[in-house]
Structure 1
Amino acid sequence: MTKQLNSLEILKRLIAIPSFVGDNNNERKLAEWIYIAIKNSGLAVKKQYIDKQRFNILAGNLTNPKILVAGHMDTVIPPEGWKTNPFVPVQESGLVYGSGASDMKAGLSVMISTLVNSKPDNALFLFYCDEEYDFLGMKYFIGEFKNKFNPSLILSMDGENLQVGNACRGLIEITLIVRGKSGHSGNPDSGINAIAKSITAFAQLESWLKSYKTPELGQSTMNIAYVNGGSLVSRKNKFPLLSREGNVIPDYCEIVLEIRPSNQKLDLEIILRQVKKMLNQQQLKLEKATIRHGLKSWITPKNKLNRILKLLPNKSLADPMKAGYLDIQLLCEQFIKATALSFGPSEPGAAHTANEFVKITNIRKSENFLIRILNDKILFT
Structure 2
Amino acid sequence: MEIIDLFKQLLSFPSITPDDAGSLEFIKEYLEDYEALWFNKEGVKNLILYKKFGEGEHLCFAGHVDVVPPGEGWNSDPFEPIEKDGYIYARGAQDMKSGVAAFVQAAKETKEFNGTLSLLLTSDEEGDAKWGTRYALQELKRMGMIPDYAIVAEPTCEKEFGDAIKIGRRGSVNGVIEKIGKQGHAAYPEKAINPIHKVAQVLPHMAGVDLDEGDEFFAPSKFVITDIRAGMEVTNVTPGKLKMMFNVRNNTKTTMQDIERFVHKYFDGMNYSLQLSQSAKPFITDPDSKIVKLIDKAIQKVTGITPKHSTAGGTSDARFLAEYGVKTIEFGVKNDTIHAPNERVHKDEVVNLYRVFLEVIESF
Q: TM-score by structure 2 length?
A: 0.84
Q: Is the 8 A contact 1:164 1:316 kept in 2?
A: no
Deviations 1:130-177 (A, max 9, x none): 322333212102222236135332111114233322122111223444
- Aligned partners of 2:13 and 2:204: how far apart in 1? 44
Q: Secondary structure at the match of 1:209?
A: coil
Residue pairs, 1:132-171, within 5 angstroms: 132-136=126-130, 137-146=132-141, 148-161=144-157, 162=162, 163-171=164-172
2:327 aligned partner: 339
The residue type equivalent to 1:259 in the other structure is V
Q: Is the 8 A contact 2:208 2:224 kept in 1?
A: no
Sequence identity percentage: 21
- Cα separation, partners in 2 of 1:375 and 1:228, compared to 1, 3 Å: same
Q: Is the 8 A contact 2:170 2:250 kept in 1?
A: yes
Q: Is the 8 A contact 1:100 1:356 kept in 2?
A: yes
Q: Secondary structure at the match of 2:166?
A: coil
Deviations 1:82-126 (A, max 9, x none): 333322222111111111211111111112222334366621100
1:349 aligned partner: 336
Q: How far off is 1:215 after superposition?
A: 2.0
Q: Which residue of 251, 268, 275 maps to 1:289?
A: 275
Q: Secondary structure at the match of 2:360?
A: helix
Q: How far off is 1:256 after superposition?
A: 3.5
Determine whether 1:66 maps to 2:67: no
Q: Which residue of 111, 124, 139 maps to 2:118?
A: 124
- Aligned partners of 1:300 and 1:133: how far apart in 2? 25
Q: Secondary structure at the match of 2:95?
A: helix
The residue type equivalent to 2:9 in the other structure is R
Determine whether 1:371 maps to 2:363: no
Residue pairs, 1:13-52, within 5 angstroms: 13-21=9-17, 26-29=18-21, 32-42=22-32, 43-51=34-42
Q: Is the 8 A contact 2:212 2:254 kept in 1?
A: no
Q: Report the aligned-residue RMSD.
A: 2.7
Deviations 1:262-296 (A, max 9, x none): 2x132223323432443335x3411x6263x3422
- Cα separation, partners in 2 of 1:37 and 1:19, compared to 1, 3 Å: closer
Q: Secondary structure at the match of 2:134?
A: helix
Gaps of 5+ in 2: none
The residue type equivalent to 2:242 in the other structure is C
- Aligned partners of 2:69 and 2:286: how far apart in 1? 35
Q: Is the 8 A contact 2:214 2:253 kept in 1?
A: no
Determine whether 1:211 maps to 2:196: no
1:247 aligned partner: 236
- Aligned partners of 1:199 and 1:359: how far apart in 2? 50
The residue type equivalent to 2:237 in the other structure is V
